[in-house]
Protein backbone atom coordinates (compact mmCIF):
# COMPACT_ATOMS: atom_id res chain seq x y z
CA UNK A 1 0.00 0.00 0.00
CA UNK A 2 1.19 3.52 -0.74
CA UNK A 3 2.34 5.54 2.22
CA UNK A 4 5.22 6.41 4.51
CA UNK A 5 7.22 3.50 5.91
CA UNK A 6 9.37 3.91 8.99
CA UNK A 7 11.82 1.37 10.33
CA UNK A 8 12.46 0.18 12.93
CA UNK A 9 9.27 0.46 14.98
CA UNK A 10 11.11 0.10 18.28
CA UNK A 11 14.74 0.62 19.23
CA UNK A 12 16.76 0.70 22.44
CA UNK A 13 20.15 2.40 22.32
CA UNK A 14 22.87 2.92 24.82
CA UNK A 15 24.10 6.43 25.48
CA UNK A 16 26.72 7.36 22.91
CA UNK A 17 25.62 4.90 20.25
CA UNK A 18 24.65 6.08 16.80
CA UNK A 19 21.89 4.85 14.56
CA UNK A 20 19.78 5.74 11.56
CA UNK A 21 16.00 5.86 11.50
CA UNK A 22 14.74 5.01 8.06
CA UNK A 23 11.87 6.71 6.25
CA UNK A 24 10.64 5.92 2.76
CA UNK A 25 7.60 7.10 0.80
CA UNK A 26 6.30 5.86 -2.53
CA UNK A 27 3.98 8.75 -3.37
CA UNK A 28 6.58 10.90 -5.16
CA UNK A 29 6.13 13.62 -2.54
CA UNK A 30 8.57 16.51 -2.64
CA UNK A 31 8.26 17.51 1.01
CA UNK A 32 9.44 15.28 3.84
CA UNK A 33 9.86 16.03 7.53
CA UNK A 34 10.97 14.45 10.77
CA UNK A 35 9.18 15.20 14.03
CA UNK A 36 9.64 14.00 17.56
CA UNK A 37 6.73 13.62 19.95
CA UNK A 38 7.21 13.88 23.67
CA UNK A 39 4.52 13.84 26.38
CA UNK A 40 3.05 17.30 26.88
CA UNK A 41 5.17 18.80 24.09
CA UNK A 42 3.20 17.97 20.99
CA UNK A 43 5.20 17.38 17.82
CA UNK A 44 8.39 19.30 17.24
CA UNK A 45 10.07 19.59 13.87
CA UNK A 46 13.63 18.24 13.71
CA UNK A 47 14.60 18.55 10.03
CA UNK A 48 12.74 18.90 6.79
CA UNK A 49 13.38 18.68 3.07
CA UNK A 50 11.65 20.32 0.11
CA UNK A 51 13.20 17.99 -2.45
CA UNK A 52 16.13 15.72 -3.26
CA UNK A 53 19.40 17.34 -2.26
CA UNK A 54 17.73 20.05 -0.12
CA UNK A 55 17.41 19.88 3.65
CA UNK A 56 17.00 22.41 6.42
CA UNK A 57 16.76 22.57 10.19
CA UNK A 58 13.57 22.67 12.15
CA UNK A 59 12.93 23.63 15.75
CA UNK A 60 15.07 20.97 17.48
CA UNK A 61 17.89 19.88 15.10
CA UNK A 62 20.75 19.43 17.57
CA UNK A 63 22.07 15.87 17.73
CA UNK A 64 20.46 14.84 14.44
CA UNK A 65 21.58 14.77 10.81
CA UNK A 66 19.58 14.17 7.65
CA UNK A 67 20.22 13.75 3.95
CA UNK A 68 17.93 13.48 0.94
CA UNK A 69 19.71 11.79 -1.91
CA UNK A 70 16.48 10.53 -3.50
CA UNK A 71 12.88 11.70 -3.52
CA UNK A 72 11.78 8.51 -1.77
CA UNK A 73 14.13 8.31 1.21
CA UNK A 74 14.79 10.66 4.12
CA UNK A 75 16.88 8.97 6.83
CA UNK A 76 17.44 10.55 10.24
CA UNK A 77 20.78 9.93 11.91
CA UNK A 78 21.42 10.16 15.61
CA UNK A 79 25.09 10.94 15.96
CA UNK A 80 25.66 10.11 19.64
CA UNK A 81 22.49 9.10 21.40
CA UNK A 82 21.55 10.80 24.66
CA UNK A 83 18.72 10.00 27.11
CA UNK A 84 17.09 13.31 26.11
CA UNK A 85 16.53 11.80 22.66
CA UNK A 86 14.19 9.19 24.08
CA UNK A 87 11.03 9.91 22.14
CA UNK A 88 8.67 8.78 19.42
CA UNK A 89 9.86 9.85 15.99
CA UNK A 90 7.54 10.45 13.08
CA UNK A 91 8.37 10.93 9.45
CA UNK A 92 5.86 12.70 7.21
CA UNK A 93 5.57 13.63 3.56
CA UNK A 94 3.48 15.95 1.43
CA UNK A 95 3.20 16.92 -2.20
CA UNK A 96 4.58 20.36 -3.02
CA UNK A 97 1.16 21.61 -4.03
CA UNK A 98 -0.40 20.82 -0.68
CA UNK A 99 -3.30 23.22 -0.95
CA UNK A 100 -5.85 20.52 -0.33
CA UNK A 101 -3.68 17.82 1.11
CA UNK A 102 -2.12 17.43 4.47
CA UNK A 103 0.89 15.49 5.44
CA UNK A 104 0.96 11.69 5.39
CA UNK A 105 2.59 10.31 8.50
CA UNK A 106 4.43 7.08 9.12
CA UNK A 107 3.51 4.90 12.09
CA UNK A 108 6.49 6.08 14.13
CA UNK A 109 9.67 4.78 15.72
CA UNK A 110 9.71 4.49 19.49
CA UNK A 111 13.29 5.12 20.63
CA UNK A 112 14.62 4.60 24.14
CA UNK A 113 18.13 5.71 25.06
CA UNK A 114 19.49 4.20 28.28
CA UNK B 1 7.41 29.40 19.58
CA UNK B 2 5.05 29.79 16.67
CA UNK B 3 3.07 26.68 17.42
CA UNK B 4 -0.68 26.76 17.69
CA UNK B 5 -2.29 26.27 21.04
CA UNK B 6 -5.30 24.03 21.40
CA UNK B 7 -8.05 24.48 23.93
CA UNK B 8 -9.19 22.66 26.00
CA UNK B 9 -6.35 20.26 26.77
CA UNK B 10 -8.82 17.47 27.47
CA UNK B 11 -12.48 16.96 26.67
CA UNK B 12 -14.85 14.21 27.77
CA UNK B 13 -18.31 13.90 26.24
CA UNK B 14 -21.11 11.39 25.81
CA UNK B 15 -21.60 9.55 22.56
CA UNK B 16 -23.94 11.51 20.33
CA UNK B 17 -22.90 14.90 21.68
CA UNK B 18 -20.92 17.44 19.68
CA UNK B 19 -17.27 18.11 20.44
CA UNK B 20 -15.75 21.54 19.88
CA UNK B 21 -12.01 22.10 19.96
CA UNK B 22 -10.22 25.39 19.51
CA UNK B 23 -6.83 26.41 18.22
CA UNK B 24 -5.12 29.79 18.41
CA UNK B 25 -1.94 30.86 16.67
CA UNK B 26 0.35 33.86 16.65
CA UNK B 27 1.37 34.87 13.12
CA UNK B 28 -0.07 34.89 9.61
CA UNK B 29 -0.64 31.49 8.03
CA UNK B 30 -1.00 29.90 4.61
CA UNK B 31 -3.35 27.28 5.94
CA UNK B 32 -4.37 25.49 9.11
CA UNK B 33 -4.80 21.75 9.37
CA UNK B 34 -6.32 19.37 11.90
CA UNK B 35 -4.99 15.89 12.57
CA UNK B 36 -6.16 12.94 14.66
CA UNK B 37 -3.91 10.52 16.49
CA UNK B 38 -5.21 7.30 17.96
CA UNK B 39 -3.26 5.88 20.86
CA UNK B 40 0.09 4.45 19.75
CA UNK B 41 -0.44 5.36 16.11
CA UNK B 42 0.72 7.98 13.63
CA UNK B 43 -1.20 11.14 12.84
CA UNK B 44 -3.96 11.15 10.28
CA UNK B 45 -4.87 14.28 8.33
CA UNK B 46 -8.49 15.31 8.82
CA UNK B 47 -9.04 18.63 7.11
CA UNK B 48 -7.20 21.66 5.77
CA UNK B 49 -8.55 25.19 5.62
CA UNK B 50 -6.80 27.92 3.70
CA UNK B 51 -6.26 31.44 4.99
CA UNK B 52 -8.87 32.84 2.55
CA UNK B 53 -11.53 30.35 3.66
CA UNK B 54 -13.81 30.82 6.66
CA UNK B 55 -15.53 27.46 6.96
CA UNK B 56 -15.07 23.96 5.61
CA UNK B 57 -16.96 20.71 6.02
CA UNK B 58 -15.96 17.09 5.71
CA UNK B 59 -18.49 14.51 6.79
CA UNK B 60 -19.15 15.08 10.51
CA UNK B 61 -16.33 17.61 10.74
CA UNK B 62 -16.72 21.35 10.48
CA UNK B 63 -13.75 23.68 10.67
CA UNK B 64 -13.89 27.44 10.96
CA UNK B 65 -11.08 29.93 10.63
CA UNK B 66 -11.03 33.50 11.90
CA UNK B 67 -7.82 35.13 10.72
CA UNK B 68 -8.63 38.40 12.50
CA UNK B 69 -8.64 36.53 15.82
CA UNK B 70 -5.98 34.07 14.70
CA UNK B 71 -8.12 31.16 15.77
CA UNK B 72 -9.79 28.04 14.42
CA UNK B 73 -12.39 25.63 15.71
CA UNK B 74 -12.98 21.98 14.92
CA UNK B 75 -16.49 20.70 15.50
CA UNK B 76 -17.22 16.98 15.48
CA UNK B 77 -20.96 16.38 15.33
CA UNK B 78 -22.77 13.33 16.68
CA UNK B 79 -19.61 11.96 18.23
CA UNK B 80 -18.89 8.23 18.42
CA UNK B 81 -16.71 6.18 20.74
CA UNK B 82 -14.37 5.69 17.76
CA UNK B 83 -13.69 9.45 17.79
CA UNK B 84 -11.74 8.99 21.02
CA UNK B 85 -8.25 10.21 20.14
CA UNK B 86 -5.89 13.14 20.39
CA UNK B 87 -6.49 16.03 18.00
CA UNK B 88 -3.83 18.44 16.83
CA UNK B 89 -3.97 21.66 14.93
CA UNK B 90 -1.04 22.45 12.66
CA UNK B 91 -0.23 25.75 11.06
CA UNK B 92 1.58 26.46 7.84
CA UNK B 93 3.07 29.88 8.30
CA UNK B 94 3.28 32.27 5.43
CA UNK B 95 6.34 31.52 3.32
CA UNK B 96 6.97 28.19 5.03
CA UNK B 97 4.75 25.78 3.14
CA UNK B 98 7.11 22.94 3.85
CA UNK B 99 7.07 23.37 7.62
CA UNK B 100 4.05 22.44 9.65
CA UNK B 101 4.03 23.60 13.25
CA UNK B 102 1.89 21.55 15.63
CA UNK B 103 0.17 22.37 18.85
CA UNK B 104 0.31 20.16 21.92
CA UNK B 105 -2.98 18.47 21.20
CA UNK B 106 -6.40 17.88 22.75
CA UNK B 107 -7.37 14.55 24.26
CA UNK B 108 -10.96 13.71 23.38
CA UNK B 109 -12.77 10.92 25.21
CA UNK B 110 -16.18 9.87 23.96
CA UNK B 111 -18.06 7.76 26.48
CA UNK B 112 -20.36 5.07 25.04
Q: What is the DSSP letter of A61?
A: -
Helix (H) or strand (E) holding B20: strand B19-24
For residue A100, the model assigns a pLDDT of 66
For residue B95, the model assigns a pLDDT of 62
Residues B56-82 have a mean pLDDT of 97
Backbone angles phi, psi at B18, to 5 degrees: -95, 145
Among A41, A42, A98, select the one facing B97 at the smallest CB separation.
A98
- Three-state secondary structure call for residue B93: strand
* Per-residue exposure over A42-81, b if at least 16 CB sit within 10 Å of its own CB, e if not: bbbbbbbbbebeebeebbbbeebebbbeebbebbbebeeb
- Is A108 in contact with B41 (Cβ distance < 8 A)? yes
Name B12's Cβ contacts closer than 8 Å, sequence gap at least 6: B108, B109, B110, B111
Test mutation, B42, B47, B52, B107, chain A, max A CBs within 10 A? B42
Q: Chain B 56-75, CB below 8 Å of chain A: which residues?
A: none
Give chain B's count of helices (H) and strands (E). 0, 11
pLDDT of B8 over the 80 cut: yes
Q: How far apart (Å, rounded) are the C-alpha atoms in residues B77 and B88? A: 17
A79-101 pLDDT, tens digit each? 999 999 999 999 999 988 766 67
Percent over 70 (pLDDT), chain A:
96
Q: How far apart (Å, rounded) are the C-alpha atoms in residues A108 and B42? A: 6
Split at pLDDT 50, 70, 90, the class of B108 is very high
Amino acid sequence: NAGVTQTPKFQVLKTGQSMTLQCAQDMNHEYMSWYRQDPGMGLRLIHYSVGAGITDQGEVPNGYNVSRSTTEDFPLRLLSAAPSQTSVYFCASSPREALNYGYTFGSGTRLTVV
Amino acid sequence: SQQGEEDPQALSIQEGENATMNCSYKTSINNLQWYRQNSGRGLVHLILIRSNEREKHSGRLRVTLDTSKKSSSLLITASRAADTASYFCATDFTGANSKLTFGKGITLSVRP
